């Protein structure tokens, strides 16, 4: 959009591994992908779509949580906050009670294998009173065990189970954390980038279905 | 086949809650995955006290195809047909959500003509989806006739789809940036004929069911979910509206061409199975009105916006959601600047609505579980993806 303010820094500035910011080039596209390029930013590319955000909302969050808010950005007019995993529960509770984000619309993750904090948890919040959305991004490492949001938004129950199933991130305080879409005995977490598209748990398939994998 | 004995987790649950396995008069009943009323391959473990349900645990994933993983090794255009296979009785709605999400990611807009035709097809799809729901839901509860009536009208809609794009079910009707096909010659006339006739048809369903004392007895106060529970459990669509929340994404954050048309958001009061029935019936009426308004004036012009053949969105991400027939259907798409999405997350309404099953079933009879699964209007292709 034309009215987007000019960003203070160019996309080439050496900050490729900053958590939650503009995606770094892909680490490894699954095999079979047509020669995935690392997508160097073109020298004459239009204004980057992520711009720092400084709205009333982010000011309130920053005033309240200070350094727990790592970043506040806007991507294609959609705001998101990058927050510390340690403060997830209190920020979530504040979002629901004070900022009236009463619906956890979606909760998912993305894998960035080359980052120090490999995963981004992404929570999409919706506020019925204000008719607005806000995304929370929580960079975590696999063993970090971020706190579960089930107590705050019961809908998180199955969503966290799906994240656990697909990415192998465990949530502290989840009432019944187990796989949801894949069978209980399955090995591996398919939505991780190092899980190839043709890969499957062949031992499980052989044992339970009586067929060889890779049909 | 799953590892672990049947009912093990329900038993673990009982232990956690201070019980010793099951109570003396409790038992675990395994419903599905092959059961006609579970609408696909859904398995529900019911903890029963006689005929009373004390808890229900869903076992899902039988239809899991890894749609989100597939997205990461397809181009943006190549992935579009895959979304049709999630909610396969509302493929047009799935396609609309995906195409609009990618358009937002690319910062392009579909031309006005495409948006209006999209709206018409999507509303027809909503009617078709609700018709299939009504027919099967009534059949589950014991009313046979509505199924034939509903299928008869649904057929007319599928014929319009077939004439438009050649496919009836998994239509792939839309393209990123607009439409592939121009509306066929008698498109407006066909839609109009269907809509004019349909008012009378809805009245037939209403005559059969609304005042029917068996229907009322089987649906009133069954599976009550109030507004606060709906929001806490993320239940959306007709389930949320039946609990009295007047909220619809088509009004709250209009997309396609919905801001141009007048329509009402029907709401219920009790949040029970009967209210959800009433809400969906009224939604069909409103969809019909939207279609009639839309065909009156379809703008002239291009049907495909300016998108290249190779789509390379700038690195970044988008979340876009639409009001699908079953509820909020959201797409979270992350681009890394290549031709393939880095991550596509689909927020499936059926999956999230199904989570409310346990709460809705408690205290009811086994036969009511069938009514409650029906009223949730789930499609397992979307639950499992």
The per-residue pLDDT for range B48-106, each reduced to its tens digit, is: 888 888 888 888 988 898 899 999 999 999 999 999 988 888 999 999 999 999 999 98
Q: What is the DSSP letter of B244?
A: T
Task: Over range A34-47, report the average pLDDT.
Answer: 47
* Per-residue pLDDT at B8: 52
Q: Tens of pLDDT along A94-142?
A: 999 988 899 999 999 999 988 888 899 999 999 999 999 999 999 998 8
Chain B contact set for A50 (CB, 8 A): 316
Q: How confident is the model at residue A215 (pLDDT cuts 50, 70, 90)?
A: low
pTM given for the model: 0.82
Indicate which CATH number applies to the domain containing A55: 3.30.460.80
- CB count in 10 Å sphere of residue B196: 11
* Per-residue pLDDT at A10: 42
Task: Over range A147-161, report the average pLDDT.
Answer: 92
- Is A80 a member of any domain? yes
Task: Over range B243-271, report the average pLDDT.
Answer: 90
Using the CB atoms, write b or e for A128-155: b if 16+ within 10 Å. beeeebbbbbbbbeeebebbbbbebbbb
* pLDDT above 70: percentage of residues in chain B: 94
Task: Give me the residue label for tokens 């008869």.
Answer: B152
Average pLDDT, chain A: 78
3-class DSSP state of A69: strand
State the complex-level ipTM: 0.84
* Per-residue pLDDT at B304: 87
The answer to whether B231 and B368 are in contact (CB under 8 A) is: no
Closest by CA position to B335, among listed B107, B102, B176 = B102
* Per-residue pLDDT at B286: 93
What is the distance in angstroms between the Cα of B337 and the nearest Cα belonging to chain A?
Answer: 6
Task: Over range B370-385, report the average pLDDT.
Answer: 89
Average pLDDT, chain B: 87
Strand partners of residue B26: B49
* Per-residue pLDDT at A36: 43
Q: Tens of pLDDT along B265-282?
A: 999 998 999 999 999 999
* Per-residue pLDDT at B134: 93
Of residues A149 and B29, the one with the higher pLDDT is A149
The answer to whether B86 and B381 are in contact (CB under 8 A) is: yes
- Is A87 a member of any domain? yes
The listed CATH number (1.10.645.10, 3.90.550.10, 3.40.190.10, 3.40.50.970) that belongs to domain B67-384: 1.10.645.10
Of residues A36 and B155, the one with the higher pLDDT is B155
Q: How confident is the model at residue B130 (pLDDT cuts 50, 70, 90)?
A: very high
* Per-residue pLDDT at B128: 93
Does B355 sit within 8 Å of A157, measured CB to CB? yes
**B-chain residue closest to A177, CA distance:** B9
The domain in which residue A116 lies consists of: 50-145
How do beta strands B34-35 and A119-127 pair?
unpaired
Q: Which of A25, A40, A51, A75 to mutate to test the interface with B (most CBs of B within 10 A)?
A: A75
- Report residue A11 CA to chain centroid gap: 21
Structure tokens at B152: 């008869």
* Predicted confidence (pLDDT) at residue B34 exceeds the cutoff of 50: yes
Handedness of CA B241, B244, B250, B253 (dihedral sign): negative
Element (H, E) at B207: helix B187-209
The answer to whether A148 and A88 are in contact (CB under 8 A) is: no
Q: Tens of pLDDT along B291-332?
A: 999 998 888 888 888 888 888 888 889 999 999 999 999 999
Q: Tens of pLDDT along B217-243?
A: 999 999 899 999 999 999 999 999 999
Q: How confident is the model at residue B195 (pLDDT cuts 50, 70, 90)?
A: very high
* Per-residue pLDDT at B306: 84
> Which of B330, B342, B351 is facing A105, going by the closest CB pair?
B330
State how far the Cα of A175 lies from the Cα of A179, in Å rounded to an integer: 13
Rg (CA), chain B: 21
* Per-residue pLDDT at A199: 79
Task: Give me the residue label for tokens 């619906």.
Answer: A103
Does B335 sit within 8 Å of A183, measured CB to CB? no
The answer to whether B299 and B74 are in contact (CB under 8 A) is: no
Chain B contact set for A48 (CB, 8 A): 314
Chain B contact set for A49 (CB, 8 A): 107, 314-316
- Is A191 a member of any domain? no
* Predicted confidence (pLDDT) at residue A159 exceeds the cutoff of 90: yes
Task: Give me the residue label for tokens 């806490």.
Answer: B232
Of residues A48 and A50, the one with the higher pLDDT is A50
The answer to whether B284 and B127 are in contact (CB under 8 A) is: yes
Q: Tens of pLDDT along B337-376?
A: 899 999 999 999 999 999 999 999 988 898 889 899 989 9
Task: Over range B114-132, report the average pLDDT.
Answer: 93
* Per-residue pLDDT at A47: 59
Structure tokens at B279: 């809400």
Chain B contact set for A1 (CB, 8 A): 107
Task: Over range A204-208, report the average pLDDT.
Answer: 83
* Per-residue pLDDT at A7: 41
State how far the Cα of B310 lies from the Cα of B177, in Å rounded to an integer: 12
Is the peptide bond prior to B33 cis by the omega test (within 30 degrees of 0)? yes
For A193, residues 6+ apart whose C-beta sits below 8 A from its C-beta are A26, A27, A28, A30, A111, A112, A113
Task: Give me the residue label for tokens 């589950």.
Answer: B140
- The total of structural domains in chain A comes to 1
* pLDDT above 90: percentage of residues in chain A: 32
* Predicted confidence (pLDDT) at residue B123 exceeds the cutoff of 70: yes
State how far the Cα of B139 lies from the Cα of B142, in Å rounded to an integer: 5
- Report residue B168 CA to chain centroid gap: 17
**B-chain residue closest to A208, CA distance:** B1
* Per-residue pLDDT at B276: 93
Q: How confident is the model at residue B385 (pLDDT cuts 50, 70, 90)?
A: confident
Chain B contact set for A208 (CB, 8 A): 1, 3
For B345, residues 6+ apart whose C-beta sits below 8 A from its C-beta are A106, A108, A110, A122, B68, B330, B331, B332, B333
Task: Over range B7-16, report the average pLDDT.
Answer: 52
Q: Tens of pLDDT along B42-57?
A: 888 888 888 888 888 8
Structure tokens at B370: 């069938």
């Amino acid at each position: 959009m034309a009215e987007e303010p000019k960003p203070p820094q160019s996309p080439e500035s050496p900050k490729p591994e900053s958590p939650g910011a503009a995606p770094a080039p892909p680490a490894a596209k699954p095999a079979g992908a047509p020669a995935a390029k690392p997508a160097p930013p073109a020298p004459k590319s239009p204004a980057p779509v992520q711009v720092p955000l400084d709205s009333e909302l982010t000011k309130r969050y920053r005033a309240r949580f200070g350094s727990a808010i790592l970043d506040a950005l806007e991507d294609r007019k959609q705001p998101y906050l990058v927050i510390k995993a340690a403060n997830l529960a209190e920020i979530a509770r504040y979002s629901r009670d004070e900022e009236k984000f009463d619906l956890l619309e979606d909760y998912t993750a993305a894998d960035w294998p080359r980052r120090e904090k490999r995963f981004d948890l992404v929570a999409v919040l919706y506020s019925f009173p204000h008719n607005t959305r806000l995304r929370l991004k929580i960079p975590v490492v696999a063993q970090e065990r971020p706190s579960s949001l089930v107590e705050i938004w019961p809908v998180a129950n199955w969503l966290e189970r799906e994240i656990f199933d697909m990415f192998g991130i465990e949530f502290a305080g989840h009432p019944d954390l187990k796989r949801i879409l894949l069978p209980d005995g399955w090995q591996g977490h398919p939505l991780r980038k190092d899980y190839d598209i043709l890969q499957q748990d062949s031992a499980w398939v052989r044992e339970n279905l009586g067929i060889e994998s890779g049909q | 086949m799953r590892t672990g004995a049947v009912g093990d987790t329900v038993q673990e649950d009982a232990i956690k809650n201070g019980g010793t396995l099951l109570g003396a008069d409790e038992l675990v009943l395994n419903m599905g995955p092959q059961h006609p009323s579970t609408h696909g391959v859904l398995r529900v473990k019911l903890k029963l006290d006689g005929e009373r349900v004390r808890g229900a645990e869903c076992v899902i994933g039988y239809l899991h195809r890894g749609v989100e993983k597939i997205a990461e090794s397809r181009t943006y255009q190549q992935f579009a047909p895959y979304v049709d296979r999630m909610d396969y009785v509302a493929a047009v709605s799935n396609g609309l959500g995906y195409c609009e999400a990618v358009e937002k990611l690319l910062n392009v807009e579909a031309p006005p003509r495409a948006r209006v035709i999209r709206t018409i097809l999507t509303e027809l799809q909503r009617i078709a989806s609700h018709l299939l729901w009504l027919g099967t839901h009534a059949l589950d509860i014991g009313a046979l006739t509505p199924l034939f009536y509903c299928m008869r009208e649904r057929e007319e809609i599928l014929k319009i789809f077939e004439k438009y794009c050649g496919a009836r079910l998994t239509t792939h009707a839309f393209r990123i940036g607009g439409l592939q096909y121009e509306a066929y010659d008698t498109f407006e006339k066909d839609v109009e004929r269907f809509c004019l006739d349909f008012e009378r048809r809805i009245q037939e369903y209403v005559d059969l069911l609304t005042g029917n004392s068996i229907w009322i007895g089987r649906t009133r106060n069954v599976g009550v979910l109030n507004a606060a529970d709906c929001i806490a459990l993320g239940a959306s669509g007709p389930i949320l509206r039946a609990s009295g929340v007047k909220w619809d994404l088509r009004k709250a954050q209009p997309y396609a061409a919905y801001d141009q048309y007048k329509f009402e958001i029907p709401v219920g009061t009790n949040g029970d199975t009967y209210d959800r029935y009433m809400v969906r019936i009224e939604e069909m009426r409103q969809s019909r009105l939207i279609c009639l308004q839309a065909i009156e004036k379809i703008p002239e012009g291009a049907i495909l916006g300016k998108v290249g053949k190779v789509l390379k969105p700038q690195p970044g991400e988008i979340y876009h959601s639409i009001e699908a027939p079953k509820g909020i259907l959201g797409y979270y798409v992350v681009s890394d600047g290549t031709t393939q999405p880095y991550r596509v997350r689909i927020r499936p309404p059926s999956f999230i609505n199904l989570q409310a099953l346990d709460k809705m079933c408690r205290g009811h009879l086994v036969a009511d579980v069938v009514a409650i699964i029906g009223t949730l209007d789930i499609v397992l292709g979307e639950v499992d993806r």
